[in-house]
Structure 1
Amino acid sequence: MSETQVIRVRYWAAARAAAGIAEEDVVVDGPVSLTELRDAVVARHPESRLAEVVGVCSVLVGERPVSSGDPAAVVVRPGETVEFLPPFAGG
């Protein structure tokens, strides 16, 4: 019997407001692309602005910042934490 595989997703600031929660676990069958993970979390919150917000977020996978390259090329593995950080106003 295989162990449940999850990716922990954390939302910050406007992403937290859009999702209505600070974090959640997404069950996966194995490694997924960042695009697949983003689509999965957006589908969990269909009546929200989450799709719009995560589309402009900086992303951390574990401790690693994800570049602005193709999110389909970024692999997220079970057991990792992904954080969506919206742009913050500075000043």
Structure 2
Amino acid sequence: MPKVTVRYWAAAKAAAQVAEEPYEADTLADALAAVRARHPGELTRVLKRCSYLVDGDPAGTRAHETVRLAEGGTVEVLPPFAGG
């Protein structure tokens, strides 16, 4: 199972109370399930509004189960940002 780094930004970072943390996950869906298990509560609510970058590429509207993760990869958790 690939080891990846999940990085949190803005409201997600505040809810997780860490900037980043390691996970083992095959897909974006697996990684997010692990995040929810580790951080039940506010972060779980924030994740519903987030978009995600996987190794710099937007996950977009693809089903999270279809977004494969690579060893040493990065998942960026991006809540909606105000301003422009």
TM-score > 0.5 by shorter chain:
yes
Structure 2 residue aligned with 1:25: 22
Is 1:68 the counterpart of 2:65? The answer is no
Amino acid corresponding to residue 9 of structure 2 in structure 1? W
CA RMSD of aligned residues (A): 1.7
Give the C-alpha shift of residue 69 in structure 1. Answer: 2.2
Give the C-alpha shift of residue 90 in structure 1. Answer: 1.6
Structure 1 residue aligned with 2:73: 80
Which blocks of at least 5 consecutive residues in structure 2 are unaligned?
A: none
Is 1:14 the counterpart of 2:11? The answer is yes
Which blocks of at least 5 consecutive residues in structure 1 are unaligned?
A: none
Percent sequence identity is 46
Greater strand share, structure number: 1
Amino acid corresponding to residue 76 of structure 1 in structure 2? L
Query: Number of paired residues?
Result: 84
Q: Quote the Cα distance in structure 2 between the aligned partners of 1:64 and 1:17.
A: 23
Amino acid corresponding to residue 10 of structure 2 in structure 1? A
TM-score by length of 2: 0.89
Give the C-alpha shift of residue 15 in structure 1. Answer: 0.2
Give the C-alpha shift of residue 38 in structure 1. Answer: 0.2
Give the C-alpha shift of residue 51 in structure 1. Answer: 1.1
Is 1:40 the counterpart of 2:37? The answer is no
Which is higher, the Rg of structure 1 or of structure 2?
A: 1
Secondary structure of the 1:82 match is strand
